[in-house]
Amino acid sequence: MLLAIDAGNTNIVFAVWDGDAIRCEWRAVTKTSRTADEYAVFLKPLLELNGLKFSDFAGAIIATVVPAALFDLRQFCRRYLNIEAVVVGDPAVDLGLKVLTLRPEAVGADRLVNSVSAHAHYGGPLIVVDFGTATTFDIVNKDGDYEGGVIAPGINLSAEALHKAAAMLPRVAIARTNAVIGKDTVPAMQSGMYWGYIGLIEGLIARIKAEYGAPMTVIATGGLGRVYYRQTPAIDHYDPDLTIRGLAQIYARNKVG
């Protein structure tokens, strides 16, 4: 079995990949102060609830956009799994794609993993929309190479910024409103967060396709992708397991022995 670790700015996802599917999956808040031992304390009882133990793992792979979290995640794999984890971004790790940007080293590991996974499953050209701390739009060509993208503020990040910057505006949950015109502060804010992002999604996808000049399939992933994708024909598929499946593919590509 493989332990796939996707460390984002908000959450770290730990997924057990067994054969060709996710067996179980857990999330922890991303804290760069968390030690390798704390990861072990978090994961051990969760594994036991699923009839698993640390010694069941034959491999591990890590993708992180939080460099300060990498050391202890790596140490956890060494100390408790007795495994040297494959790390997306290490020069020796072959992703199976070219990064056709001005500074390939600056592209987030999660965006490259998503690109690998999406192309393997859906072909190309593609737009991969990841609803995370940031909302990212990544362009993958027909050969599976990463061509660039767009980074917009994430939905929850925007809602929190609005609350913090305006004294009279409360925190609101992201929810679809039946009417665009809000009759009170909370529904007006929810409309802006929901329908405003629908406008952003549709507008950016349309502009990307026009600039690219070829038909493109649009894949959404990330937790809030579920909230938006059925509301707009601009998104063709929602794939919540895209990143973990990509990590498993990259591990298989780089497995030694």
User: Which residues fall in the annotated binding site for K(+)?
Assistant: 130
Token pair for 253: 């590509």
Task: Please state whether beta strands 146-153 and 126-131 pair in parallel, antiparallel, or not at all (unpaired).
Answer: unpaired
Examine the residue annotation and report whether 110 is marked as an active-site residue of this protein.
yes
Query: Catalytic one among 72, 110, 138, 239?
Result: 110
Which amino acids are annotated as binding site for ATP, given as ranges? 6-13, 133
State the CB neighbour count (10 A cutoff) for residue 119: 25
State the CB neighbour count (10 A cutoff) for residue 35: 13
State the CB neighbour count (10 A cutoff) for residue 115: 29
Task: Please state whether beta strands 21-29 and 126-131 pair in parallel, antiparallel, or not at all (unpaired).
Answer: unpaired
Q: Are 201 and 234 in contact (CB under 8 A)?
A: yes
Catalytic residues: 110
